[in-house]
Each structure stands twice: as structure tokens, then as C-alpha cells.
Amino acid sequence: MDELFPNAEIERPPPRAGNGGDTAAAKKKKREKPNRPGESTPVDLEAAAAQILIDDSSDLELWYGIPKAVASSVAVGSRVYVPLRNKRAVGTVIGIGTRADAGEGDFQLKPLGGLVDDAPVFTKGLLKLADWVADYYCANRDAVMRSVLPAAVRGDRHSAQSQLFASIAQKPKNEEIDTIARRAPRQASILRELIEYGEPVPVTQFGAGATKPLRGLEEKGWVKLEDKAINRDPTADEEFVATSALKLTATQEPAMEVIRDAIRAPDGEAKPVLLYGVTGSGKTELYLQAIEEVVEKGKSALVMVPEIALTPQTVHRFKGRFAECDTEVAVLHSHLSQGERFDEWRKIRDGRARIAVGPRSAVFAPFENLGLIVVDEEHEPSYKQDITPRYNARDIAVVRAHLEKCAVVLGSATPCLESWSNVESGKYDLARLDERIDDRELPLIRIVDMRREHRKGSGPAILSERLRTALDQRLERGEQSILFLNRRGFASSLVCPACGYVCECSHCSVSLTFHRSADRLICHVCGFQRVGPRKCPECGDPAIRLAGYGTERAEEIFKSVYPDARIARVDADTMKRKNQLRETLDAFKRQKIDMLIGTQMIAKGLHFPNVTLVGILNADISLHVGDFRSGERTFQLLTQVAGRAGRGELKGEVIVQTHTPQSPAIQFSRHHDFLGFSEQELLFRKQFDYPPFLHAVQIMCRSSNERLAEFTLESLHKRLVPRLGEIAIVGEPAPATLAKAAGQFRFQLLLRGNSARTMGRVVREVLREMNVPEDVTITIDVDPMTIG
Ligand code: ADP
Ligand code: ZN
């Protein structure tokens, strides 16, 4: 069975977690822990003891006695209070055994203090999964548990039925704000934001430490603070249309058959299913019908979607389909307030909701009786968490399905090459949808060579003649367009044409992006801001100018070319407010907007029947990242964005502007040829020993002291070579592509081998033996999304 799985490897029984990826934790390695006793052994309550993993402790595990009063309610997965160094701490029961298991006899066990919640919050399945995640991704168990159990549900902080909201009590004049800004800049910036919002805003929206300045503003009479009951169901007030199962097409039927086989297979015998279907081929309909079957059998289903932008539409489809039956759809996403999150989580834990929809973190939804996990757009990089624990939720979904013996379906129009090669090697089953519903044609993709456009020298460098003609037509016909540019801000750099000087961040090795609305140069890595120089700081030339295009500049250009068109922009800068994205997309859907300009926020999943044109303003941005995945990413992005065109009755057209029209990613995506692309790309990966043929483990060493970071990584490298040389390709330590970020110098080392788990274990072992200096941080990224 084991070799069936997955991108990530499975091994049973799950070993105890080792050290975390971070050195601080690695250094504090503790003594051997007693084994966890079998959970099913009958427990002598009077003599019972509980093994507790203490919160926020870098994996401190201690035994406590169980007092008789709570003995009947303490179980594996319970959250409990315990005395620790004369303080009260909170922890999770990870094992129950006898006092002898705990080593009592030499000393007296302290009793635990009582239960935080009335029922265990961790299911046994989740505890097992957490073990696996900690071991595979080289993370602290405690950090993993924090991902599994969201903050809203931890401890006793969660009973918030209301939330503090701030609104403007009296609108200050600009001069008055300036006066405030002189003495209290934070107050002024909060005030400005509040005015911009124009509606009550939860105080938490302003981030940590905002309460004090807000109270200050309240005292001065500008701001009103009040407790409001919060809207407990985030989508309760939204309409959805009740639907019922559609009759499947001849193309869908065989694909559904593969999925049905997986759902109906006896416990644990089904392979993961990769549902490969072009955009608009009816994948979501198959998910819905599969879930229906699972729910009818009394089981639960978990649906993972990559991005929050996707959730409203997806959620409506799910709510609409299951409106009739008496199971609720729980929605988990990062924009929920703590109270909302607690409620949704609770709905699942209590069995009121048997379907949950959510992003990456939803893979830990506390279901006990899972029948199906769906991972939509399984190739999406956002499934990978870029902080510790650096897990990929798609791969965890496969592992969870394996551990809990349920079916798992991974869906995509552009599967990632790992999943695709698992199909080729027979680890996954394949379900295919080759046609769009109703034989709607895939959009026509035209490539515009921007080098030639420049030679023509007509018009702005971001708007080719061909795109302009196409936009003219759309406006005339009252159809809508999406313009995609994967870079926010106004200009990507400020460059001196005389000496070549580029304005860089003083803390990071990147150029600063100019933002016109803020009139500042801003670092997209660390957030550092400064006013742009009027002349070149190096040679004094006043001709220093903006180079490159961001969405802000594109918006300005399109607005000047099309003064009468209704144009809106969607990126991280314009979508700061909670409902702004939803409102803009809504307006677009109601055809109140002619052109939508945006970053990858608008690339996926959205379904607008009146959109007949998609313009990709600069297809080269993701091609030049210099990462082994950049071709794959470009192919995926182009295909996804192109999929936004022609979703209705009208035929779609896609215009791709590029300086590298001959690159394979662009040529294959032009012909909608995933198979051709993957064949060629896999050859390249094989030739250079890259994933999916080998697993990669990336070690990053960071410090404000450049020499120290480099030296530490070099000595780690020296120790790794003899231990791993036989079984892995051990790279050379080198500066990362982003060599400095937020004042930290970054060096990295790449390992490639057949077993990520073995590599990870050896690295942790070596780190434990090493003396890693205080101000050096080492992180381990298993199966990284990008290398560099
Ligand atoms: P995907 O998830 O692959 O992008 P969807 O499931 O969103 O595809 O389907 C695209 C469109 O086709 C949707 O409007 C959906 O309602 C419709 N559709 C899907 N299956 C059928 C079917 N069997 N009969 C009629 N319409 C369908
Ligand atoms: Zn910076």
C-alpha cells in the first residue's frame, strides 16, 4: 500500500515528531520521551495519567495525573489546563496511560487542572495526521498543532459573540488629520483608513496594537467604538440559487464512473483520482454529485479551494446544491472573524455541517467520518504554506485520505507534474474531461510579439495594436474584458538611463516599486517605503525615470485610452477592505464594469459569461523567475487566465503579449496542449534530476551577519555530504536568488533524493549535533514550490 502514495511518502506507524525546522527548537532537544501507549488499552482511571503536549513550548511533553473528578471526560485530543512552573499552561492530551507509563515511582505526578472544552477538540485522526505532518515537513509538533487547531478555537478565548467595531464619529478636515499626524502618526493613518472605508470596521482589521490609538481617537471625539454582535454565518445573508444534479453528458459519465469507483471502494482501497479536465468541462458538477453520494451514505466531505477570491462563487454553488438536505455547508477562510471561525469549526466538530469548503488550512477540518476530500485546482501554489510548517495541503489531503480511508479527488485543467507523473506510474487513477460542456469551444489564443510592437513604436508599450482593436470591438458590442498583469504598483523600478542606477530597498536585494497613489517607492518584500529621488543619487542626472509596468500604471493607461469605458482594478492594493473584492466582482458580474484589470487575484475559477476577451499584458513576468518550475507556472497561469474567456454563449478570444513568443510554455498553452507540454517538461526535469523524479529539500540559512550565515551553512554542508552523499544529490551552499530580505542575508542549499523523509531526518539529526549560532535561523522546506 505504501508505495501507492503520494507526492509525499507515507510510513506507518507514524514516528514521533523530531525537531522543528527552526534552530532555536533544534537546539533545545530534550531527553527521550516515553512511548505513547496504545490508545485502545483499557485505562485504569484511578491510576491513569495523561501525556500532554504543552502549547507554545517547542514540543515539551509532560505527564500529569488525572484527578478522579475529570477522569471520565479526559480523552486523547482533550485540551486541558496544567500547572507548569507555578503558572497555568494549556496543552493537548496526546496519550493516556498508567502512572507507571509516566515513570511515576521515582517522583510524584502533578495532577492536571481541568478541561478547557467539554469535548476533545482534536480527533484521533487529526492527531495522527499532525504527527505525520511534523515528521515529513520537519516542523515542531506544537507549530503543526497550531495549524490544525485555529487560534479561534484554542484556549478559552473563543466565546466572543460580539466584536469591537470602529467608525467615524465626526469627519475631520485634512488639516486636522495633518495636525494629528504630527503627534500621532498611527492615529492619523487609522483615521484615514476609516474615512476611506466609510463603514464600521472591526478593530482587528487594523492589526495588532490598534486598540490604543483607536481609544485615543475616541477620546478626541473623531471615532466611535462599539461592540456589535457579529454576523455569525459569513455567507448567511448572501443569496444562492437552489439547484439539483444535472444529467451528466457523455463525456462526464465515464469520468464520474472513475470517481464513483473510488467512493464505493472498500475501506482504504481506492487510489487517489486525478480529475484532469479543461476549464468549463464540468468538474465542479462532478464534485457536487460525488459529495451528494457521500453525504447520502452518512459521511462527510471536504472541499478545498485555492484562494479566497474563489470562495464566494464556489460556496454559492455548494450551498445551492445542498440547500434542500439538512446538512449545512461550513465555510472556512482567512477573512473570517475569530467568532465566525469558531462557529464554522464548531459546526463541523458537532456534526451539524457535513460539508466544508475552504483553503489550505481546511485540510485540518475536524471531521470524523470523511468519505471524500476534493482538492480543486490541485496545482495551485497557494496550497503550499510558506511559513513553518511548510506543508502542501494537497499532499496532506492525499495522506489524510489514506489514513482515514476515504476517497480523494484532485482536480485541475493543468495538473502539476507531480500529480501527472503519479498517474503515469499508476499511483493515481485518471478521470478525464476532454471537452467543454455543450462543446463550447476553447478560446482562440493569439500571441503578439511585443518586440515587433516596440519597433513600430506606436502607442503605449503595454497595449499592442491587436489588443486595442480587440478592446474596441468589445466596447462596441457591450461585451466585457479581463486584462491580466501579474505585478502590482505603478512601475517596477526607478532607473537612471545615464548610469544604470536602480533604486533598491536598503534592506532587501530587490528594486523598489513605485506606487503612484501613495507617491512612494515601496519594497514588495519587506514593506519599506521612501520618497523617490528627483535626480539620480549616483550621477545626479535628473532624467531618472520609471521603468516597467504594474497594474496601477496599466489602469491609468487604459483609462486614458478609453476615457468612457468603466474600468476597475483588482490587486492587493485596491482590495484591502473585507468585502471589496466581492463587491467588485459582483459589479463585474452585473456588467457594471467593462474592463477588469488585475493580478493573479482574477486569474482563477471565476465564471463570467459575458467575458469574451482576456488580455495578458505581459506573459514574461513569471517566465523569468529562473526557477525550475517557471515554465510550468507560466503554462498554468496562461491556461487559467485564458479559461476566463468565452464561458458563456459567446466565443472567447485571448491575446497574449510577450517578448518571448517562441518559449514552449507559451506555444503549448496557445494550443491548449497540456499533454504536449507535460511530455516535454518532464523530459527536462528527468534530465536535470528535478521533481517529480526526485524529492527536493531546501535548506535556508538566514542572518543579519552575512559571513555567519554563509559559514553556518557551509559547516552544515560539510556534515551532510558524508551522511547523504550516497543517497542524495547534495548541492553547494549559495546565496539565494533573493540574497537579502528585511535585513537578513540568505544562503541556501538544495538536496535532491528519492526520499524526502530520509533527507529531512538526517538534516534534523545533524542540526541537533551542530552548534548553530544564536542569530542564525535555519529553515527546512520539504518539497518546495520554488527553488532559489
Ligand atoms: P469546471 O469546474 O470544469 O470549470 P463547471 O462544473 O463549472 O466546470 O461547468 C461549467 C458550466 O457547465 C457550468 O455553468 C455548469 O453549470 C455547466 N454544466 C456542468 N455540467 C453540466 C451538465 N451535465 N449539463 C449541463 N450543464 C452543465
Ligand atoms: Zn525591502
pLDDT in tens, 608-635: 888 899 999 998 876 656 688 889 988 9
Atom of ligand 1 at shortest range from CA of 281 = 3
Q: How many Å apart are CA 629 and CA 618, to the nearest integer? A: 18
Q: How many Å apart are CA 213 and CA 191, to the nearest integer? A: 10
From ligand 1's centre to the CA of 283, what distance in Å? 7
Which ligand has an atom closest to residue 433 CA?
1
Q: Is the pLDDT of residue 15 over 50?
A: no
Which ligand has an atom closest to residue 431 CA?
1
Atom 5 (ligand 1) nearest CA: 282
What is the model's pLDDT at position 16? 37
Strand partners, 54: 91
The top-scoring range by mean pLDDT among 20-34, 226-240, 371-385, 568-582 is 371-385
* Residues within 5 Å of ion ligand 2, judged at the Cβ atom: 505, 507-508, 523, 525-526, 528
From ligand 1's centre to the CA of 281, what distance in Å? 6
Which ligand has an atom closest to residue 508 CA?
2
Q: How many Å apart are CA 787 and CA 691, to the nearest integer? A: 11
Q: What is the mean pLDDT of residues 693-707?
A: 96
Three-class SS of 724-743: HCCCEEECCCEEEEEEEECC
From ligand 1's centre to the CA of 634, what distance in Å? 25
Residues in the chain: 788
Q: Is the pLDDT of residue 321 over 60?
A: yes
Cα angle, residue 636 at apex, residues 464 and 665 outer, rounded to 5°: 65
DSSP tag of 265? S
Q: Is the pLDDT of residue 398 over 70?
A: yes
- Residue 652, H or E segment: none
Q: Which residues contact ligand 1 via a Cβ below 6 A?
A: 246-249, 252, 277, 279-285, 437
Which ligand has an atom closest to residue 529 CA?
2
From ligand 1's centre to the CA of 439, what distance in Å? 11
From ligand 1's centre to the CA of 442, what distance in Å? 14
Average pLDDT along the chain: 84
Atom of ligand 1 at shortest range from CA of 248 = 23
pLDDT tens across 345-378, in order? Answer: 888 988 889 999 999 999 999 999 999 999 999 9
What is the model's pLDDT at position 21? 39
Contact 751, 696 (CB under 8 A): yes
Burial class (CB in 10 A: 0-12, 13-18, 19+), 525: middle
Residue at 231: amino acid letter: N
Q: Which of 181, 191, 197, 182 is nearest to 214 (CA)?
A: 191
What is the model's pLDDT at position 379? 94
From ligand 2's centre to the CA of 744, what distance in Å? 10
What is the model's pLDDT at position 244? 86
From ligand 1's centre to the CA of 252, what distance in Å? 10
Q: What are the two backbone dihedrals, phi and then psi, of residue 227, each rounded to the nearest 5 degrees? A: -80, 130
Q: What are the two backbone dihedrals, phi and then psi, of residue 259, each rounded to the nearest 5 degrees? A: -70, -45
Ligand 1 pocket: which of 247, 285, 432, 438 to mutate (most atoms within 8 A of CB):
285
211-219 vs 185-197: helix crossing angle, rounded to 10: 80
Q: How many Å apart are CA 316 and CA 337, to the nearest integer? A: 20
Q: How many Å apart are CA 738 and CA 383, to the nearest integer? A: 22
Atom of ligand 1 at shortest range from CA of 247 = 23
Residue at 212: amino acid letter: K
Say which residue the cell 529539500 belongs to. 697
Atom of ligand 1 at shortest range from CA of 288 = 6
Q: What is the mean pLDDT of residues 749-776?
A: 94
User: Residue 198, by phi and psi: left (phi above 0), alpha (psi -120 to 50) or beta?
Assistant: left
pLDDT tens across 437-455, in order? Answer: 877 777 888 999 998 887 7
From ligand 1's centre to the CA of 421, what distance in Å? 27
Atom 4 (ligand 1) nearest CA: 280
Rg value, the chain, Cα: 28
Half-sphere exposure of 688 (CA within 13 A, CB side): 12
Query: Count H helices, E strands: the chain?
Result: 22, 31
What is the model's pLDDT at position 161? 53
Q: What is the mean pLDDT of residues 248-257?
A: 96
Percent residues over pLDDT 70 in the chain = 87
Atom 25 (ligand 1) nearest CA: 246
Q: Give 501 or 373, the one with higher predicted confidence.
A: 373
Q: How many Å apart are CA 258 and CA 270, to the nearest integer? A: 10
Cα 112 to chain centroid, rounded: 37
Contact 108, 49 (CB under 8 A): no
From ligand 2's centre to the CA of 788, what distance in Å? 17
Burial class (CB in 10 A: 0-12, 13-18, 19+), 4: middle
Measured torsion, CA atoms of residues 2, 5, 8, 9, in degrees rounded to the nearest 10 = 10
Ligand 1 pocket: which of 243, 256, 284 to mutate (most atoms within 8 A of CB):
284
Q: Which of 407, 449, 404 is nearest to 429 (CA)?
A: 407
Instruction: Give this prediction's pTM.
Output: 0.81
From ligand 1's centre to the CA of 279, what distance in Å? 9
From ligand 1's centre to the CA of 248, what distance in Å? 9
Ligand 1 pocket: which of 281, 317, 437, 641 to mutate (most atoms within 8 A of CB):
437
Say which residue the cell 527536462 belongs to. 684
Split at pLDDT 50, 70, 90, the class of 9 is low
Percent residues over pLDDT 90 in the chain = 43
Contact 746, 706 (CB under 8 A): no
CA 594 to each of CA 100, 122, 567, 597, 610: distance values in angstroms, whole numbers, following the listed order? 73, 48, 6, 10, 10
What is the model's pLDDT at position 364? 95
Cα 610 to chain centroid, rounded: 29
Weakest mean pLDDT among 145-149, 209-213, 231-235, 312-316: 231-235
Split at pLDDT 50, 70, 90, the class of 295 is very high
From ligand 2's centre to the CA of 320, what distance in Å? 45
Q: What are the two backbone dihedrals, phi and then psi, of residue 680, each rounded to the nearest 5 degrees? A: -70, -40
Q: Is the pLDDT of residue 290 over 50?
A: yes
CB neighbours of residue 722 within 10 Å? 9
Q: Which of 689, 664, 695 is nearest to 679 (CA)?
A: 664
What is the model's pLDDT at position 603? 72
Q: How many Å apart are CA 588 and CA 294, to the nearest integer? A: 35
Contact 89, 64 (CB under 8 A): no
- Residue 757, H or E segment: helix 756-769
Which ligand has an atom closest to residue 313 CA?
1
Q: How many Å apart are CA 81 and CA 88, to the nearest integer? A: 6
Weakest mean pLDDT among 167-176, 426-435, 746-755: 167-176
Q: Give 240 or 300, the one with higher predicted confidence.
A: 300
Under 8 Å CB-to-CB from 701, ≥6 apart: which residues? 709, 710, 712, 713, 716, 733, 746, 747, 748, 749, 776, 777, 778
Q: Is the pLDDT of residue 587 over 70?
A: yes
pLDDT tens across 65-122, in order? Answer: 888 888 888 888 888 889 888 888 889 999 888 877 777 666 678 888 888 877 788 8
Contact 22, 388 (CB under 8 A): yes
Atom of ligand 1 at shortest range from CA of 287 = 6
DSSP tag of 782? E
Cell of 511: 528594486
CA 161 to each of CA 40, 102, 661: distance values in angstroms, whole numbers, following the listed order? 38, 40, 56
Atom of ligand 1 at shortest range from CA of 249 = 23
Q: Where are the alpha helices (DSSP H) in 167-268?
A: 174-183, 185-197, 211-219, 252-264
Under 8 Å CB-to-CB from 360, ≥6 apart: which residues? 304, 306, 382, 383, 384, 385, 393
Atom of ligand 1 at shortest range from CA of 433 = 3
